[in-house]
Amino acid sequence: MIFKLVGDGRPYPEHGLTPREWAQIPPRQVRLDSLITTKAMLDLHSLLAADSTFYGDLFPHVVQWQGELYLEDGLHRALRAALHQRSILHARVLELPD
């Protein structure tokens, strides 16, 4: 199994971080099998596009809430890592209070 769970939606409270605020969080290593996705579907065009990791943040965005890690943004990057047989991903992790 690639992810801990495939979710559909964000169960945690709205955090309101802007892209600039996300960029202030230093990336850290996260195991793919500890992540819960917030999207159940992915467009293959996004995954397979040559420039799919060119735009936006270089690191996926993960929200830690109630002891779980939710992959908020960067599903295509996480799947690319899994396809390359990597079990760890560098991501920005926002810790929300329970």
Q: What is the pTM of this model?
A: 0.88
Q: C-alpha distances in angstroms, 8 versus 29, 53, 60, 86?
A: 23, 22, 17, 24
User: Is residue 80 pLDDT above 80, yes or no?
Assistant: yes
* DSSP state for residue 34 in the 8-state scheme: G
Burial of 12 (C-beta count, 10 Å sphere; 0-12/13-18/19+): middle
pLDDT at site 34: 98
- Kindly report the length of the chain: 98
pLDDT digit string, tens, across residues 44-70: 776 666 655 555 678 999 999 999 999
In this structure, the strands spanning 61-65 and 68-73 are antiparallel
Q: Which of 98, 50, 90, 94 is nearest to 74 (CA)?
A: 90
* DSSP state for residue 14 in the 8-state scheme: P
pLDDT digit string, tens, across residues 1-37: 799 999 999 999 999 999 999 999 999 999 999 999 9
* DSSP state for residue 24 in the 8-state scheme: T
pLDDT at site 55: 58
pLDDT at site 58: 86
